[in-house]
Structure 1
């Protein structure tokens, strides 16, 4: 048993030495030189707050308070753990690089390709360095208009320097990405639950599953499935960035409740109901943040059992002399075709059906949210036959108006006088519009 006691004693001495050595060995004298070398390489000022050696659990170097550029990149701490025996060979092996508290800004992200670019005129290094594992903890990506994180990441690296696997996980556990190499490509698997989109509209996904393949030039997501706002979305999309940024996609939308979703895209619009649609979209822009303004989208749509707030089509058709931007239109179905091209939105083949009301028409929404178009409203009143009243659309999304055409106004005045308000107004408006069209004096259809 003496050998066991000696072994335990030896182990205790080694542990004590590893714990005490950092108090006597300081690396901080090398800090200015390292800052200067890094600044020359990156062409940016580099600051290191502290540089020291630690002995446990394995000997490693700790760098505290790293800052690159004008706070473009900040790191709380980096711990580098080498394979000590490999330091005596031509291939220096780094067991792990642990990065804690990384904050990467948009400018820093844009400059990474320049920082890692190799100099073809540089002399070959006297030795090679191979890193086995990179770990990120509590990292944050700060874009111009959004942020992603905090998140953790784990990257395993093969002997030839190529990544074997990368896992990125949000610290709240709501989002996870796994990336695995497959030849010249990378397989991407995304899983999310209760996760909010960090860029663009603040859409919340109850569940999101994405499978795709990426290269250094593009990413294709051939299988996208999501559950959100009581419905489902499924489809595919692709993003390329070799010559500018190009985004394309097509999806099938089933049974989405619009009450909380619509305000994320258009705060001025209040619309409820269940949406079915098949959007096809594309965009091409010089920079990723310009994609939204360059978006082209085209889709048929059908909304069931909803309410359009801020406008009362039936009231507008039976009370033509009142300019009103209040009220609401309840409908059983609201369908049509929606197209958007660089900010201009057009709704064509619009049809609204609900009890005594039926309407059809076309509406255009300008980039400044101004409205224009024509809606033909049919209102049933008891046993009286349906009367069609043409209404011009004007105003804006936050204050829409439905106003009659000139001929409709004249006919409505006569009808109201003879038959009274409501039925007389709408019947008279219909006759007036027919007469105006017959003699060519009606307003031009918008």
Structure 2
């Protein structure tokens, strides 16, 4: 027992001494050593505003206002902390754990250079990981973040990956050095898009390569409302100009929950398949999805238009306006979709449902007002009914107006007339 007590007392005395030394030794005596160590580690000039020891919740060496390359727009850290832990003391000069960066701001080019800047020299201690708290990337006048993330290092001391996520464990984001670029992987589960309309993905996977001017998203795969979404895209940022462009393909998506994201009342059910191209542009990434540009071709099978009855207007022999809901069943509903900002157009639309069919176009204006024209026909044996329907009102409460219904009558047949003689076959 006595043999064990002496080493423990010695360790406690050493820790107490380490804790008391900063109280009597000014930071000016070790600041130059800190600066030299950081400059050697980061292969570039470093400035420290002030430094010292914090004791709560545990002894930590803290550096404030750390600036790299003599330019705060290149890289700046409000607070850099290194714990004075037993592990770091026992492995002094060989390995450091528990480094934390708070409120870091980095330019894209500095972030791209991190694998080289954090490359270890033979006489430097190995880094295990660095925790980034509330850190951001500066892109011109825009700021991406802040986010919490972790930098992890391989056994040889090289930077292995950056990993980030959200508090609900719905997002998992990985960035790994790959040549002069970074391999980017984003996995989302049970995730609702935080911009535009709240489309909900059961699972979403994005893979691509990132460079200083953007990301080439080579693979997009998602499970969405019982169907799948695939595609690719390019995200670019240059001279305060943000651009996102790409293509998407959908197959087997349940149209009802998808379309109810845009309107809970007027929507469509059935199975949706289609292909689209999209372009978004803005001077700030927060505004990137404010002005969409989308062109798509779609096909919905075995479904129904809800709150949009196209058959009832055919029953009226006189001009009339119908401000009512109702439904229109169909076997196929095809067309083109064009979205420009807040204006949505459905063009070259064709709806077929047994003996009923309709063709037309519809515009949903920024104030959700409707403007469209539809030619509807109902055929049954010798009975044929056709009418032109004008769509108005608003998306939530459509108004369908008709002209006089065209009801072609079958031509009379003279049963007493002698039928013409059949043609004589050539001998």
Is the shorter-chain TM-score for this pair beyond 0.5, marking a shared fold? yes
Residue equivalent to 1:207? 203
Name the Cα RMSD after superposition. Answer: 4.7
Q: 1:61 to 1:397 in 2, by over 3 A?
A: same
In the alignment, does 2:285 pair up with 1:288? yes
Whose relative contact order is higher, 1 or 2, with alpha carbons under 8 Å and at least 6 apart? 2
Q: Of residues 392, 395, 406 in structure 2, which corresponds to 1:394?
A: 392
Q: Of residues 294, 299, 302 in structure 1, which corresponds to 2:299?
A: 302
Give the Å deviation of 1:51.
Answer: 5.9
Residue equivalent to 1:427? 407
Residues 192-225 of structure 1, C-alpha deviations (whole Å, 9 max, x = no match):
2222333333232212222110001010111111
C-alpha distance in 1 between matches for 2:11 and 2:149: 33
Contact 2:345/2:361 (CA < 8 Å) preserved in 1? yes
Contact 1:337/1:348 (CA < 8 Å) preserved in 2? yes
Q: How does 1:216-365 map to 2 (within 5 A)?
A: 216-243=212-239, 244-266=241-263, 269-319=266-316, 320-365=319-364
C-alpha distance in 1 between matches for 2:57 and 2:15: 4
Q: Could you tell which deviates more after superposition, 353-362 or 285-294?
A: 285-294
C-alpha distance in 2 between matches for 1:47 and 1:258: 59
Q: 1:85 to 1:217 in 2, by over 3 A?
A: farther
Residue 208 of structure 2 aligns to a residue whose secondary structure is strand
Contact 1:19/1:54 (CA < 8 Å) preserved in 2? no
Q: 1:335 to 1:84 in 2, by over 3 A?
A: same
Residue 18 of structure 1 aligns to a residue whose secondary structure is helix
Give the Å deviation of 1:303.
Answer: 0.9
Contact 1:313/1:377 (CA < 8 Å) preserved in 2? yes
Residue 241 of structure 1 aligns to a residue whose secondary structure is strand
Gaps of 5+ in 2: 32-48, 65-75, 112-122, 137-143, 410-427
Contact 2:22/2:53 (CA < 8 Å) preserved in 1? no
C-alpha distance in 2 between matches for 1:264 and 1:236: 23
Contact 1:311/1:329 (CA < 8 Å) preserved in 2? yes
Length-normalised TM-score, structure 1? 0.66
Aligned residues: 362
Give the Å deviation of 1:155.
Answer: 0.3
Contact 2:282/2:288 (CA < 8 Å) preserved in 1? yes
Gaps of 5+ in 1: 35-45, 65-72, 118-127, 142-146, 413-425, 430-446
Residues 254-283 of structure 1, C-alpha deviations (whole Å, 9 max, x = no match):
011122222334456432221101011112
In the alignment, does 2:187 pair up with 1:191? yes
More helix by share: 1
Q: 1:367 to 1:385 in 2, by over 3 A?
A: same
Q: 1:15 to 1:300 in 2, by over 3 A?
A: same
Give the Å deviation of 1:338.
Answer: 0.9
Give the Å deviation of 1:95.
Answer: 4.1
Contact 2:321/2:399 (CA < 8 Å) preserved in 1? no
Contact 2:234/2:246 (CA < 8 Å) preserved in 1? yes
Length-normalised TM-score, structure 2? 0.69
